Amino acid sequence: MFSEISGALPDILGDFTPGAVYSDRESWKAVPQAVQDVVVRDAEAALAGAWPLIKASDYRDYTATGNRSRFEELYFTRRRMLNDLVLGELVDGNGRFLPRIVDGVFLIAEESGWQLPAHNAYGRGGPRLPLPDTSQPVVDLFAAETAALLATIVALFGDALDGISPEIAARVKREIEARILTPYRGRHFWWMGDGDERMNNWTAWITQNVLLATFSLTTDQPTRRAVIEKALGSLDAFLKDYAEDGACEEGVVYYRHAALCLHGALTVINRVAPGLFEGIWRQPKIRNMADYIAQMHVAGRHYFNFADSSAVVEPCSAREYLFGKAVGSEMLAAFAATDRAAAESPHLPGEWNLWYRVQELLTGPAIPKVEANPVSARDIFYPGIGLFVARDGQFSLAVKGGNNGEGHNHNDVGSMTLYKNGRPFLIDVGVETYTAKTFSQRRYEIWTMQSAYHNLPTFSGIMQSAGEAYAARDVEVEFGEECARISLDIAGAYPEEAQLRSYRRTVSLLRGRHVEIVDTHDGDRPAVLSLMTCLAPTIISDRIDLADLGSIFVEGAGEIEVDEIEVNDIRLRSAWPERLYRLRVPLADKRLMLQIN
């Protein structure tokens, strides 16, 4: 799609300015005063705070212990502090934050490596080196993010930085050339795309930030052409792994690093090669990719989650709104406007990408206030990943088919997620804080990745296996006025030792009435169904009560047992209370029926 257009690139590729420049005081003073006050307050806190010290031993900690969070807290705190100072100066305009901004720029410029320790490798899945090699920079997600951050500062402040010293901008340009642009042009990193190799969010995310850095700086035309041509090839490689339906197999959290970064990349390209890519925005696949986040929304901060995604997601920002407008999706634009209006903070204080925060301050105030979505999310089936979503006035239901070889996979073929009146009923737990183990051969030792901790059966302790071959089959979907239904055989998701001939699951939303789940088992090992919930269950004969939310009526089960799971991980606690519950429901015979009211 993109590479085909590259031959029509103009001879001169223009500049990209990622927002109003510092000298444009009118634009920055137009930011609402209440927002300015918050931004300046955060900048003053950064002004008074101490920059984190990053030592070689902090970098080495990952390969020694597998812990990612200790180093990343230091790394991202530096960048958020610098962001806060930059935004404070942009709205304040009095120069008081500039010296501290220069300190932050030079601290980051002097880091031995911009890549995270968890990404410090020269091949996909290769060994992580304990320290960065400054002679062979690795272009990972956050090396590219760092380049975009520093380039954005230089682009916006221009003469103000030169007035302190021309060496500031010159140093930034040298570092970005050495760490990003030279290796980008001269080497092949796996995320750039190569034939049929599967890509993921890295491709769009890094490509966006390399483009942003290249065109925000005063780079020469040969560099710009080489970067944009390579970027277009990568974006094609990224798109090839999306089905026409636009579903993000990595989960809703990664929408913002995948489809939304595609939007960012296209925004830069459209600006530097005006009009050349206008038709891309209305391609059905791009439109479907844009709408995905709105289709996954349940209520409030809750979304249908699977893979490495939390059930609770941060509010939308101006980025989702702009994507909706670009592709002509009134549903997404209205959803993003409504969701953004509910945000507690107007300037993305936890975000480390400065461009996103600049967009929010400059574009956000112009986004219309929408009382409610005029176009609601609908029933939908995404055949590309086998995801079924159905709703009525009371229930919101999702069932995940697909296979166990998808990006950020959990072994969850056939699992379901159910909300009642916007509250979680049957849940997908999500993912704990990332460690070395998360993306290693030992990934499926982590309990949240295992099918036994999804709403799925286990056979004498045998769970689903990982890999593309372990998949749903014979999937049937029906959407009607009175009933929405999915039926699928999930036996293929289990290894041979499960001794399964078939395990047919049929999940029906009988609109205005209840949800019905019928599991039919044909195999030689006993089946025990797990049901995950965040509400303490009470079992009375053939009925399971979940606090004040509702009941599950059970037919065809043996004695039900309950496991209580303490939740200590900080990432899980952002979505769930301190305890979760796993109901273990044995199938007394070959058929189990659950009716959820």
The pLDDT tens digits of the residues spanning 103-157 come to 999 999 999 999 999 999 999 999 999 999 999 999 999 999 999 999 999 999 9
- Domain identity same for 471 and 361: no
The total domain count for the chain is 2
> Is 475 within the bounds of a domain?
yes
260 and 332 part of one domain = yes
Residue 374, in any domain of the structure: no
Question: Locate tokens 């991980």: which residue?
Answer: 569
**DSSP type of residue 531:** E
Residue 474: give its domain's CATH number: 2.70.98.70
> Are 42 and 113 contained in the same domain?
yes
Residue 23 lies in a domain: yes
* Banded pLDDT at 376 (limits 50, 70, 90): low
Is residue 375 a part of any domain in this protein? no
Statement to judge: residues 48 and 97 lie in one domain: yes
Query: How large is the angle between the packed helices 284-296 and 330-341, nearest 10 degrees?
Result: 40
461-499 per-residue burial string, b: 16 or more CB within 10 A, e: under 16: ebbbbbeeebbbeebebeeeeeebbbbbbbbbbbeeebe
Are 464 and 329 part of one and the same domain? no
Q: Are residues 419 and 347 in the same domain?
A: no
Q: Do 259 and 388 sit in the same domain of this protein?
A: no
Whether pLDDT at 374 is above 60 = no
pLDDT in tens, 76-87: 999 999 999 999
Q: Does residue 394 share a domain with residue 307?
A: no
pLDDT, the chain, mean: 96
Out of 310, 331, 366, a domain closes at: 366
Cα torsion 100, 105, 109, 112 to 10°: value is 60
**524 in a domain, yes or no?**
yes
Give residue-wise pLDDT tens across range 219-249: 999 999 999 999 999 999 999 999 999 999 9
How many CB atoms within 10 Å of residue 299?
A: 12
- Statement to judge: residues 550 and 573 lie in one domain: yes
Amino acid letter, 35: V
- Same domain for 357 and 493, yes or no, is no
Query: For residue range 238-291, what is the model confidence (pLDDT) as tens digits?
Result: 999 999 999 999 999 999 999 999 999 999 999 999 988 888 888 999 999 999
pLDDT > 90? residue 342: no
Q: Domain boundary residue among 306, 337, 366?
A: 366
Of the residues 313, 340, 366, the one at which a domain ends: 366
Which pLDDT band, with edges at 50, 70 and 90, does 370 fall under?
confident
Question: First vs last Cα of the chain: how many Å apart?
Answer: 47
Question: Which CATH number do you get for residue 126?
Answer: 1.50.10.100
Same domain, 385 and 354: no
- Please tell me whether residues 16 and 106 are part of one structural domain: yes
Q: What is the CA radius of gyration of the chain?
A: 25
Q: Express each pLDDT in 3-62 by its tens digit.
A: 888 888 999 999 999 999 999 999 999 999 999 999 999 999 999 999 999 999 999 999
Does residue 306 belong to any structural domain of this protein? yes
The residue range of the domain holding 350 is: 3-366
Q: What is the pTM of this model?
A: 0.96
pLDDT reported for residue 577: 97
Residue 310 counted as domain residue: yes
Mean pLDDT value across residues 565-589: 97
Q: Is 544 inside any structural domain?
A: yes
**Maximal C-alpha separation, the chain:** 80
Round to whole Å and give the CA distance between 396 and 424: 9
**Which ranges of 7-158 would DSSP assign to H, the alpha helix?**
25-29, 33-48, 56-65, 69-92, 98-109, 141-157
Phi, psi of 449 (to 5 degrees): -90, -10
When pLDDT is cut at 50, 70 and 90, the band that residue 2 belongs to is confident
| Token digits of residue 252 | 């809703």
What pLDDT was estimated at residue 97?
Answer: 98
